[in-house]
């Protein structure tokens, strides 16, 4: 029964930020497996309208005082929909509270299908999801499921011949929109034109039982979160591989880290020495998730996880970092840009009917005590120790005020500035899943004015220097905050040049690109603009057998 109490707790406790899935996998004292909790909540959210309808028509909440609306929704879902029914012993009081009404519940389930003119349960599911989209007003937005092919373990061609062999290719994201009563509607495939080895399939496509998913050959990763690694490593091939080691400074749960490793795998000759990727997260719990994600993706030979390591506490001059030439930074942010398919499910709950007043006898007091015990059980919390290829940046953090945004931007700027101090670093990417100017272009402007940036010769990677797919990306940086409705009011503007704004990459929630809000910018080191002291130091290092003359670097090679 802990599965249902844990699910109730996850849905009702205050958000600590981060993605919905990561909240589940990072929660403490979980008794049920995190994957089961996540699956229960997501599947129930697809059926909530009809389940609430059935619960109300059977008067279940009035008849069974032990059940609250959310718990009833989860239990009735498993009773009616799950193949194995309610995951609790037959004698458990809450399972019995549902199953003693099984005849009426199933009768109302059939009536709900008949009312919608559905010949099958699958058609009913499609109809209910359509009702949800129409009620939420999101019919015009396309939120597909993005799937990245992991080049460490497989290739794009191999996956087209196996996992996606039965899929029909379409020419646009709009073509992935669900088709009425079409069982084959999910067998559609869109090959992304901006990010190599990334495809999109219709919302609702399930890969959790596929061998490619279980083996880490495909990874579910939002398109926007693929931008940072691609911006950092570009379209380099076997003729022009990445030179040096890499650092992911804020890495959990690990999708961006494994994306870097995947891009490196495409650049490596068969017998060539592997480049090293260092990744870290200050939280030891999240670090365990990170390590499991790295292992599942087959990236252990490439990636070293520094568990519980705060990036700001790293010493850039340590010997182990002497060959680090690129850093990827995706620090904590407000999460204001996150929207879409895996937002925290806003479940439609059944309405309960209040019982008439009754005398408080011994039986009533005993009932209240039992109810209190059940309520306490629903307030338990959980710990997760497992991970699977997962979406990241799924949900927004709670609303933040201007003071909170300012604190976040201060930390973000410190993190980028620290990255620029790595002696041999030539490339740094900075990203957030925020739409706020103060966390994005304002951080870029602030960093470019720092001493370490000016003395090190750091500048933005221009649009024409970016990887081919990102050069074609239309949405760029802004000078004035575009955020209006429901957001923090701010008069903030930035004084970046038009060229600098063109160097910044933006994604906006709710547009035809099928993404949430996201921002990424690349910093590159141009030693022609460095101070004399830095030039002399680099020259000395080069003469001692270091990397090739940095002054010859001319942006990403496409």
Bridge partner list, 198: 148
Residue with tokens 């933006």: 506
The DSSP H or E segment spanning 148 is strand 145-149
Q: Is 279 a catalytic residue?
A: no
Residue with tokens 């389940």: 51
* Count of Cβ atoms closer than 10 Å to residue 452 Cβ: 15
Report whether 159 contacts 213 (CB < 8 A): no
| String of DSSP letters for 359-391 | ---HHHHHHHHHHHHHHHHHT---B-----S--
Report whether 478 contacts 437 (CB < 8 A): yes
Residue with tokens 């249902």: 4
Bridge partner list, 190: 200
Report whether 409 contacts 443 (CB < 8 A): yes
How many Å apart are CA 109 and CA 47, to the nearest integer?
Answer: 11
> Which one of the listed residues 226, 250, 333, 433 is annotated catalytic?
433
* Closest residue by Cα to residue 229 from 253, 200, 261: 261
How many Å apart are CA 419 and CA 424, to the nearest integer?
Answer: 11
3 state DSSP class of 432: strand
Give CA torsion, residues 411, 414, 419, 423, to 10 deg. -160
* Closest residue by Cα to residue 92 from 388, 514, 374: 374
Measured CA to CA in angstroms, residue 454 lies from 75, 458, 528, 529 at distances of: 60, 6, 11, 8
Catalytically active residues, by annotation: 433
């Amino acid at each position: 029964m802990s599965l249902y109490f844990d699910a109730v707790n996850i849905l009702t406790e205050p958000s600590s930020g981060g993605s919905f899935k990561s909240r589940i996998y990072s929660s403490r004292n979980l008794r049920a497996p995190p994957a089961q909790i996540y699956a229960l909540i997501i599947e129930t959210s697809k059926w909530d309208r009809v389940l609430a309808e059935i619960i109300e028509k059977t008067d279940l909440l009035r008849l069974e005082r032990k059940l609250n609306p959310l718990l009833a929704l989860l239990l009735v879902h498993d009773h009616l929909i799950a193949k194995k029914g309610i995951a609790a012993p037959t004698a458990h009081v809450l399972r019995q509270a549902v199953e003693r009404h099984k005849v009426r519940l199933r009768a109302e389930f059939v009536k709900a299908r008949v009312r919608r003119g559905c010949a099958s349960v699958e058609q009913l599911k499609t109809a209910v999801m359509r009702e949800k989209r129409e009620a939420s007003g999101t019919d015009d937005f396309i939120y597909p499921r993005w799937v990245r092919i992991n080049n460490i373990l497989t290739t794009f061609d191999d996956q087209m011949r196996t996992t996606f062999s039965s899929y029909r290719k379409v020419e646009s994201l709009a073509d992935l929109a669900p088709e009425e009563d079409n069982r084959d509607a999910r067998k559609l495939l869109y090959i992304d034109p901006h990010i190599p080895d990334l495809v999109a399939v219709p919302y609702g496509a399930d890969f959790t039982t596929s061998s490619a998913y279980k083996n880490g050959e495909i990874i579910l990763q939002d398109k926007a979160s693929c931008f940072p690694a691609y911006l950092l490593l570009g379209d380099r091939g076997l003729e022009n591989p990445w030179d040096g080691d890499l650092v992911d400074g804020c890495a959990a749960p690990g999708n961006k880290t494994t994306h870097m490793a995947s891009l490196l795998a495409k650049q490596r000759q068969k017998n060539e020495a592997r480049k090293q990727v260092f990744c870290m997260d200050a939280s030891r719990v999240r670090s365990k998730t990170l390590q499991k994600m790295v292992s599942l993706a087959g990236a252990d030979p490439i990636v070293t996880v520094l568990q519980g390591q705060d990036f700001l506490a790293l010493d850039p001059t340590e010997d182990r970092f002497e060959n680090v030439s690129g850093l990827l930074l995706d620090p904590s942010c407000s999460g204001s840009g996150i929207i879409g398919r895996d937002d925290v499910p806003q479940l439609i709950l059944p309405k309960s009917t209040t019982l008439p007043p009754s005398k408080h006898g011994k039986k009533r007091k005993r009932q209240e005590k039992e109810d209190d015990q059940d309520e306490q059980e629903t307030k338990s919390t959980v710990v997760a120790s497992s991970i699977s290829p997962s979406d990241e940046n799924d949900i927004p953090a709670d609303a933040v005020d201007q003071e909170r945004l300012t604190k976040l931007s201060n930390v973000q700027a410190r993190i980028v500035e620290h990255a620029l101090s790595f002696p041999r670093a030539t490339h740094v990417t900075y990203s957030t899943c925020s739409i706020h100017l103060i966390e994005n272009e304002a951080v870029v402007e602030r960093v470019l004015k720092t001493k370490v940036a000016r003395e090190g010769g750091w500048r933005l990677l221009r649009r024409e220097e970016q990887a081919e797919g990102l050069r074609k990306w239309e949405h760029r940086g802004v000078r004035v905050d575009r955020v209006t409705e429901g957001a923090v009011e701010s008069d903030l503007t930035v004084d970046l040049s038009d060229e600098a704004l063109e160097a910044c990459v933006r994604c906006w929630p709710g547009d035809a690109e099928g993404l949430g809000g996201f921002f990424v910018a690349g910093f590159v080191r141009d030693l022609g603009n460095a101070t004399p002291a830095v030039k002399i130091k680099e020259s000395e290092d080069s003469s001692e057998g270091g990397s090739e003359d940095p002054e010859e670097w001319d942006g990403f090679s496409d």
